[in-house]
Amino acid sequence: MLRITQIKLSIQDDVSAVKLQVAKKLKMKPKDILSLSIYKESIDARKRGEINFIYTVDITVVDEHKFLTGKFKHVALTPELAYQNPQKGVKQLTSRPVVVGFGPAGMYAALLLAQMGYKPLVLERGEAVDERVQSIDAFWQKGKLNPKSNVQFGEGGAGTFSDGKLTSRVKDLRGRKVLTELVNAGAPEEILYKAHPHVGTDLLRDIVKNIRKEIIKLGGEVRFDTQVKQVNLEQQQLKSLTLSTGEVIDVQQAIFAIGHSARDTFGELYEAGVMMTAKPFAVGVRVEHPQAVIDKAQYKEFAGHKRLGAAEYRLTHKAKNGRGVYTFCMCPGGLVVPSASETGYLVTNGMSEHARNQQNANSGLLVQVFPSDFASDHPLAGIEFQRELEKKAFELGGGTYQAPAQLVGDFLKGQPSKEMGTVTPSYALGVKPTDLTALFPDYISDALKDGLLGLDKKLHGFAMLDAVMTGVESRSSSPLRINRDENTFQSVSTKGIYPSGEGAGFAGGIVSAAIDGLKCAEALIKEYAPMAGI
């Protein structure tokens, strides 16, 4: 196949015009293009008064060699993108491999193991997605939190109740497998070529269920409402796991893809002697604007065009106090959602459905924090840093899971908010106007103020006075890393434990977590043969 880059269409052109443009570029008739598939589509809005779509396409033709002589620009052979399964090892497993956690990392680790004949056992502390939706609805509508199954825990992990954003800065061919498996499970094919693909929480619910069904079809087993309560070692080798059901299962190899909110499991691993270290992360607020303001800032006179959809952004700023301030998990046309996983603590996150058609846009507005900011040098000190903020947020909101909120204008002026303005907060359980400087240490509040003004210069309207800041966004990434050997992908201190994904400190987002799950599964597969007789 040939890969053709830099195919440009105006915003007025239909995507079907791509084939005509390719034929024109190659000085051939459209009918002589035997097949054409879009590899990538991106939007170029850099020139005022002009928006174009830029395409990379793969085609087949009868005599492709004549187009590779150098006569034609932006033409090359299509690189090999197919995922290559790892070579199976020869060591004998004494028990089937276990995957702890069924978020993106655990799901893809289990899927690959199942596809390769290893029949994994998946242990997920939360509920299956249908029951999980009911638990989350009870929280969002009535404030009844289920600590065992919520936005953080359950089938699909935290990503199931997010924007379903599939962008990743990780340049890894495994990313193509991640997207392909999502399409196989029911995701729109456009995610394979959109420059900023997303699925949306409404579609993800069925997609994760279909991946689970595929794992079971291939001989795997998935147990929900099943938490690892104790990790049992012998001479720093994993021997068994004690489960919340009371069962003790023998296990030689386990991929721990537990997510960034599994604080009790982090504690259990630490007590068992598994090495981990505190790491930097970021905390802040959800900032909410009218989507129309973001569309206008990004697309100018083209705002609202049917081909563009809801505009998004990704912004960074260096505050005067030296801390990085950045937007995170931006949700166009989305909602700010209650995301607590512990009773008496308040956490926010963002979520969009596939259509991204809600009135507001929201994003995390975060400030870097470092282990030196924590109360001690204990590996779990970052968790306590998070908890302190989440407890304060719960109290500032009135102790009912209402969220503390403040208008950007009031925050910049240093005065408490007494009521909301023209932007209606989308947080389901309601907000309580307050002063968010009471929530954060001064270095975070100062960086947020500096960041709002700095980012407004990059995206006009970002610091609009009536924009709403809702606290607290504290689960952007894991506050620790479970140290592992990057050759074996096992814990540096404990054989048989493969720390994986965002919770273990090796990913940040759906795709990068899924890629890391694949890496850990590959490492296990390369060393061990499937267990006979399962």
pLDDT tens by residue, 313-327: 999 999 999 999 999
Q: Is the pLDDT of residue 533 over 70?
A: no
In whole angstroms, give the CA distance from residue 390 to residue 283.
10
493: β partners: none
Task: Compute φ and ψ for 111, nearest 5 degrees.
Answer: -65, -45
Confidence of residue 339 (pLDDT cuts 50, 70, 90): very high
Confidence of residue 265 (pLDDT cuts 50, 70, 90): very high
Q: In percent, how much of the chain has pLDDT > 90?
A: 93
Per-residue pLDDT, averaged over 493-515, amounts to 96
The encoded tokens of residue 362 equal 């929201």
Q: In percent, how much of the chain has pLDDT > 70?
A: 99
Q: Is the pLDDT of residue 169 over 70?
A: no
Per-residue pLDDT, averaged over 110-123, amounts to 98
In whole angstroms, give the CA distance from residue 231 to residue 240.
7
What does the buried/exposed string (b/e) look like for 332-341 if buried means 16 or more CB atoms within 10 Å of the residue's CB? bbbbbbbbbb
Q: Lowest-pLDDT range, 139-148, 161-170, 295-304?
A: 161-170
Give the pLDDT confidence score for residue 534 in this predicted structure.
Answer: 66
Least Cα distance to 354 among 138, 122, 162, 159 occurs for 162
Q: Which CATH number fits domain 91-277+481-529: 3.50.50.60, 3.40.50.300, 3.60.15.10, 3.20.20.190?
A: 3.50.50.60
In whole angstroms, give the CA distance from residue 94 to residue 84.
27
pLDDT tens digits, one per residue of 343-393: 999 999 999 999 999 999 999 999 999 999 999 999 999 999 999 999 999
Q: Tell me if 319 sits within 8 A of 367, measured CB to CB.
A: yes
Per-residue pLDDT, averaged over 151-157, amounts to 97
Per-residue pLDDT, averaged over 32-59, amounts to 93
pLDDT tens digits, one per residue of 381-399: 999 999 999 999 999 999 9
Q: What pTM value is reported for the model?
A: 0.95
Per-residue pLDDT, averaged over 418-434, amounts to 98
2-77 carries CATH number 1.20.1260.10: no
Give the pLDDT confidence score for residue 340 in this predicted structure.
Answer: 98
Q: What is the DSSP string of 141-175?
A: HH----TTSSSSSSTT-GGGGS--B---S---THH
Least Cα distance to 362 among 286, 307, 441 occurs for 286
Q: Is the pLDDT of residue 47 over 90?
A: no
Confidence of residue 448 (pLDDT cuts 50, 70, 90): very high
In whole angstroms, give the CA distance from residue 186 to residue 348.
28
Domain boundaries, the chain: 2-77, 91-277+481-529, 280-473
Give the pLDDT confidence score for residue 163 in this predicted structure.
Answer: 81
Q: Is the pLDDT of residue 291 over 70?
A: yes
Q: Around Cβ 505, how many Cβ atoms within 10 Å? A: 23
Per-residue pLDDT, averaged over 267-291, amounts to 97
Give the pLDDT confidence score for residue 170 in this predicted structure.
Answer: 67
How far is CA 459 from each of CA 119, 326, 422, 434, rounded to the nearest angstrom? Answer: 50, 13, 19, 26
